[in-house]
Amino acid sequence: MEAPMMHDQPRRSGNWTVPDHVPAELVRFLDFRTGLSSCPHAQVAEFHKGPSVFYSPLSHQDRGGEGKGAWVLTRAEDIRKMLQQTDIFSSAEPRSYAMGESWKLIPLEVDPPEHALFRAPLNALLSPGRINGLEPRMRTMAAELIDAIKDEHECEFIRSFGEQMPVRIFLELMGMSDHELKKFRSWADMIVHDRHKRGQAMAEVKAFLAEQITEHRANPREGTLVTEALGFKAGDRPFTDEEVMGTVFLLFIGGLDTVVSSLSYHFRYLAEHPEDQQRLRQNPEMIPDAVEELFRAFPVVTTGRVVSQDTEMFGVLMKKGDMVAGSTLLSTSDPEEFENPEIIDLTRSPNRHNAFSFGPHRCLGSHLARREVQVAIDEWLKRIPEFRVRPGTKFETLGGGVMGMKELPLVW
């Protein structure tokens, strides 16, 4: 799909506005949620055929109100530069504006140098050492879920496995019960994919987490992320109640959606490419490198930053208050960064993708996500024979800050 040109449109139409400092020839429409095809990664990659930066009248994140547009960077090098220059491209504008409040997700919505004070105590939460200790539990849970469906010879992958394994593991880490998993996932879907219900969902999650924090404060549960967050310090002072809430909120939402979406796209690829299924069955030692390539080929996150001062960068004038989108879907498909990015090579090396972002806000849960996907593929291939997508399936994409799909029906 050729990236649509919009320079013949008026400066204002409907509920969107193009600021006066945006050249008309750089206006395109891409909010990572509207008009997406069943293959969104290939569709978004088409924007590499146009300018390296353009302006979309709508953003995937309408912080402070619907109708705010965003600059969209397409080159991996520019996206890295934007993510690393936190003095110009700020994360500090809270998503809680969507519910009429101003508390921040910690440490995502705090800029350096203050950011380091909040990130330091969080680093140990999901460190490689801690993830190593979790692997036996991951394998047990994956095996149980697969054994429960293998004799059915079919499943809807996302409901039966894709959301069950990572979400249950994360809720265990949080010290929360998984009996309300469906409700938790509904909240995540609204916050990430539905701009109209985002504020309502955030308010409900906040109320739920406030109860959890109160419970853990009264009855600490050693080894759980909520109890640990209650003991965090920013430098030499304890986190405030609002900062504990912001930390737990970020961990909660981050654990409910991104790995589910990644698993969905990875397993869809394997279902559509039996030759690569077979390679991994015969050579399970390839799985870690294969997972890195699948993360590169099917990243799911689009981040947003707010320009904190007028600046000329990436060949355009950006004004204070402008939103800038840095999408992993664009950076990992950049032909200037990767040779033949449209080809999925499970042995690709080097593979310097940014599926987990760059800079100080690099994904806190990257080690957990990698290990969960590696274990899921390994245990699935051990137990399920050659599988494929159910014939006649029409995929529905869920867009927004995290790209996903509604269903993935598999048969074997």
Name the residues annotated as catalytic.
Answer: 195, 257-258, 363-365
CA–centroid distance for 43 within its chain: 18
- Give me 14's structure tokens: 């409907």
**Distance from C-alpha of 255 to C-alpha of 185, rounded to nearest angstrom:** 10
Torsion angle of alpha carbons 287, 289, 293, 298, nearest 10°? 50
**Distance from C-alpha of 224 to C-alpha of 226, rounded to nearest angstrom:** 6
SS3 399: coil
Element (DSSP H or E) covering residue 266: helix 241-272
List Cα–Cα distances, 72 to 47, 173, 218, 331, in angstroms: 10, 35, 46, 11
Cis peptide before 335 (omega within 30 of 0): no
SS3 260: helix
- Closest-CA residue to 90 (of 64, 108, 70, 66): 108
**Distance from C-alpha of 136 to C-alpha of 142, rounded to nearest angstrom:** 10
- Give me 18's structure tokens: 């193009």
Cis peptide before 385 (omega within 30 of 0): no
